[in-house]
Structure 1
Amino acid sequence: MLALLLAFVLVAAACGDDDEEAAPQAPAEEPAEEPAEEPMEEPAEEPAEEPMEEPAEEPAEEPMEEPAEEPAEEPMEEPAEDMPVDLASVCPNPVVIQTDWFPQATHGLWYQLIDHANAAVDTNSASYSGPAVADPNLTIEIRGGGPLTGFQQEYSLLHADRDILLATTNLDAVISASAAFPTVGVFVPYDKHPQNFMWDPATHDISTIEDIRDSGATVLVSSNAVYAEALGAIGKLDPGQIDYSWDFSPARFVGEGGAIVQQGFATNSEYQYENSIEQWGREVSTMLVHDAGYPNYRTVQVHPDSVTEAADCLSLFVPLVQQAVVDFLANPGPALRITEHLSAEYSSPVPLSPEENEYATSQMTAVNLVGNGANDVLGDYEEDRVQAMIDITVPIFLGQGSDTVNPDVTAGDLYTNQFIDDSIGL
């Protein structure tokens, strides 16, 4: 029974990564935002008045020097930190965020945005909503996904329900639906995708993806593991060693004594096999699929129309999300406690434990899931990387007979960095 329950929670890994490739189903959109201009007005007023009165009596030089120094610095810092952002005047209310699974640590950044003291849970719609910390006049609503939406794909929900502004999904899934349900990425919460391979280090001496290939071991993955097919196509794996029959149960890995290599997820697989799956209960080793040669993105998408219609909103909201990642990593506790509470409220078959959540959060930095990428900016897209994913996946989708992929899709169709604040990084 335990194995079955754990098998279900492992679906999170594949759903977050692979299920997105399934044929699309339906749609959504959203709002617009404005700046931090009100906060900027205070600094402009105070400095200009105090210095102006003293100069009337004393030398016009002494006062002129003081204002130049003090006002310019003190007022400029306070607004950046303490002044609220006027989201309510430019964003749809509520701002709806569609996630891809039961609440979990990888969604912590979203829960970081809400004032939990005044939030509410709706178990019927599997949603959690409350006032934005940045602007109490705006409500943020976070919706559960995966089983909680009948496994409807996030890109299709952006078209089906235009109340949704932002949805989390995978870049390869976005490419797979680029003709039927086009969406545009506005933020990358993880520089490296958490999908991984796992094996028994007592059985296999593996350091690289080529070692997996040369071992001849069966590589057990889910039926829609596009990344495995891609790695076989580029020679990183032997296509003949890939078995697409994994049912998310640990039974085969355990039953074969670790002889096989299996699909996993960096934020939970190691913890579960070493601590929760009693039949195994020992160390496993892992390798990120990203590091094996498949540079997929976890990505936050919007409906194409939202890029213009909600531009003012996104200009303010996306930087808040960037900062939420920084703040979550610095103090994850409050958001993690909310995800644990909600996973139980939404009747997850394997409710989150504080121990597993803490492990997941530590993994985000331990294996560099979260990072600035090629520059000092958190959350922006790299054009070459997006193009590489197009080059890898489009031939696979077309070879599968897909009619939902755009064979001529370009990197510029799939993302924009226009809402990213270049000053925010780790």
Structure 2
Amino acid sequence: MHPRLRGFGVAAVAALTVATAACSSSGTTDSAPVSLPAAPAAQQLSGVCPATVVVQLQWEPETDSGPLFGLLGPGYRVDADNGKVTGPLVADGKDTGVKLEIRAGGPAIGFQTVPSQMYVDPSITLGLSHSEQAVAAAAKQPLIAVTTLLRDSPQMIMWDPKSHPDWHGIADIGKTGAPVVVSQGQLYPDWLVSKGLLNSKQIDTSYDNSPSRFVADPTLAQQGFANSEPYVYEHEVSAWQKPVAYQLLRDVGYEGYARTVNVRADKLNELRPCLQRLVPMIQRATAQFRADPTHVNDIVVDVVAKTPKFTPYSAALAAYGSKTLIDKGLIGPDTDGVIGSFDLARVQRVIDGFAPILRKSGAAVPDHLAARDLVTTEFLDKTVTG
């Protein structure tokens, strides 16, 4: 995952479940101890999961990873120095007997990909990824996705509607030859070129997470995320303060899943007893977030506010981002009606679309890579439908 622009001001958060915290000199912020009721036996994870379930994010905490924070119980500890938060892993507010540790990605792991980090650090239980990243890693760092937090990706290409009133989508940008500024290492720009939507000469991989270039030259197009940049540019970039236009990659045929929840392929059997209980909890947390993201928004903003090295993430941006994910249908049940599920035919189309692009760039994508090599629906609770 590469940098995305985020907010520049953090609003105060009302502590709904977390007591007043005090910071230690080590950079760890402790919340007051909270006594939680025990989860029922069927939801107890002690003895079947690691004592601490470690989740590696692609970037810093944001609400597009929100369902995971819905599993983080009160009394959590924020380790600002190491970019992580640890607390009880809860199901419906009840203690499952193990801890949940959520680790930031991006700069916190030296901009390594999540697959590479999972193979470097065996303490990681679950890691978030995108479908095409799993395709790229399949030869040397294979992952198996056990569920997904988002049904569709919030990735987009944005532009200034005043500078380009005739642009209505990505295809219109491709007809003009205007630069499309993206961060280095993104895989989807080559896919857009392969589909004839953009020209390879348009792709400019110099995006550095700053709004300054777009503000200075609004004739170019730029990468973004629908749950972030449209709000940030209009409300938090003082030199802009007006709407941007955009089109989701989803709406031009991009089918990659975003925020897939993965285990290392060589750990699937070992983790199977854990996943049988944990994956349905993630599904239910996703459904609860979709129904009402307020509680998760508060936790994410609080965790970011207690970590000075993170890019500030305002309460207003968190609310906007969550609402966008929900309203645009980016989070929700798949074609089978199940939250967190996968359409195997869709996964295969992603493989078939990205494998040639990756091989052309020198990546070793296994021959005959199939959807069942990358995802499994084994652990899903088919009754979690909304």
Give the TM-score, by structure 2 length.
0.85
Work out the CA distance in 1 between the residues paired with 2:175 and 2:215: 22
Q: Deviations over 1:63-106 (max 9, x none)?
A: xxxxxxxxxxxxxxxxxx97761211311111111111211111
Greater CA deviation, 134-143 or 102-111?
134-143
Size of the aligned set, in residue pairs, is 349
Please tell me the residue identity of whatever aligns with 2:78: V
TM-aligned CA deviation for residue 252 of structure 1? 2.3
Q: What CA distance in whole angstroms lies between the structure 2 residues aligned with 1:11 and 1:275?
A: 11
2:51 aligned residue: 93
Write out aligned runs for 1:67-78 (5 A). none
- Point out the more displaced range, 199-208 or 284-293: 199-208
Q: Could you say what secondary structure the match of 2:302 adopts?
A: helix
Is 1:384 paired with 2:341? no
Aligned residue number for residue 262 of structure 2: 301
Partner of residue 182, structure 1: 142
Corresponding residue of 1:170: 130
Letter in 2 for 1:353: S
Matches within 5 A, 1:51-70: none
2:309 is the alignment partner of 1:314 = no
> Who is 1:289 aligned against?
249
Listed as ranges, the matches of 1:338-357 within 5 Å are 338-357=299-318
Q: 1:244 to 1:214 in 2, by over 3 A?
A: same
Shift of 1:11: 8.2
CA-atom RMSD, angstroms?
Answer: 2.1
Question: Partner of 1:140 in structure 2?
Answer: 100
Residues 280 and 92 (structure 1), Cα distance of their counterparts in 2 relative to 1, 3 Å cut: same
Q: Write the distance in 2 (CA, Å) between the matches of 1:82 and 1:285.
A: 48
What secondary structure is seen at the aligned counterpart in 2 of 1:133?
strand
- 1:219 is the counterpart of 2:180: yes
Is the Cα contact below 8 Å between 1:197 and 1:261 reproduced in 2? yes
Q: Deviations over 1:353-373 (max 9, x none)?
A: 111111111111122211212
Describe the superposition over 1:321-357 as per-residue Cα deviations: whole angstroms up to 9, x where unpaired: 0000111233323322222222133223531111111
Between 196-205 and 215-224, the greater mean CA deviation after superposition: 215-224
Secondary structure at 1:10 match in 2: coil
Give me the whole-angstrom Cα distance separating, in 2, the residues matched to 1:316 and 1:352: 32
Alignment of structure 1 residues 222-301 onto 2, 5 Å:
222-256=183-217, 258-298=218-258, 299-301=260-262
The 3 A distance-change label for structure 1 pair 309 and 368 is same
Shift of 1:385: 1.4
Offset, 1:152: 2.2
Kept after mapping to 2: 8 A contact 1:398/1:407: no
Cα distance in 1 for partners of 2:313, 2:86 equals: 20
In 1, Cα distance between equivalents of 2:256 and 2:318: 23
1:9 deviates by 4.8
Q: 1:348 to 1:123 in 2, by over 3 A?
A: closer
The CA deviation at 1:305 is 2.7
Give the Cα–Cα distance (whole angstroms) in 2 for the partners of residues 227 and 9 of structure 1.
15
Residue type at the aligned position of 1:241 = Q
Q: Which has the higher helix share?
A: 1
For 1:318, what is the secondary structure of its paired residue?
helix
Q: CA deviation at 1:161?
A: 2.1
Which residue matches 1:111? 69
Runs of 5+ consecutive residues of structure 1 not aligned to the other structure: 1-6, 13-80
Check conservation: 1:231, 1:293, Cα contact below 8 A: no
**TM-score, normalised on structure 1?**
0.77
Unpaired runs of at least 5, structure 2: 8-38
Amino acid at match of 2:76: A
Cα distance, 1:254–1:376 mapped onto 2, change above 3 Å: same
Identity %: 34
Conserved in 1, the CA contact under 8 Å of 2:3 and 2:183? no
Q: Secondary structure in 2 aligned to 1:108?
A: helix
Partners of 1:102 and 1:346 within 8 A in 2: no
Aligned to 2:363: 402
- In 1, distance between residues paired with 2:41 and 2:287? 19
Q: Does 1:364 align with 2:325?
A: yes
CA deviation profile, 1:10-39 (whole Å, cap 9, x unmatched): 289xxxxxxxxxxxxxxxxxxxxxxxxxxx
- Alignment-mate amino acid for residue 128 of structure 2: T
**For the residues of structure 2 that align with 1:396 and 1:146, how far apart are their CA atoms?**
24
Determine the C-alpha separation between the residues in 2 that align with 1:11 and 1:278. 13
SS in 1 for 2:97: coil
Residue matched to 2:379: 419
Partners of 1:282 and 1:114 in 2: how far apart? 36
Change (3 A) 1:90 1:392: same
Distance 1:223 1:8 in 2: 10
Q: Find 2:298's aligned residue among 328, 331, 337.
A: 337
Matched AA of 1:397: L
Q: Which has the larger radius of gyration?
A: 1
Give the 3-state SS of the residue equivalent to 2:162 in structure 1.
coil
Q: CA deviation at 1:176?
A: 0.8
Cα contact 1:9–1:350 (8 A) shared by 2 = no
| 3-state SS of paired residue (2:276) | helix
SS at match of 2:107: helix
1:393 pairs with 2:354: yes
Q: Is residue 8–residue 349 contact of structure 1 (8 Å, CA) maintained in 2?
A: no
CA contact (8 A) 1:381 1:417 kept: yes
| Residue type at the aligned position of 1:129 | T
Q: d(CA) in 2 for partners of 1:139 and 1:180? A: 30
Q: What SS is found at the alignment partner of 1:141?
A: strand
**2: distance between equivalents of 1:387 and 1:412?**
9
For 2:279, the aligned partner's letter is: V
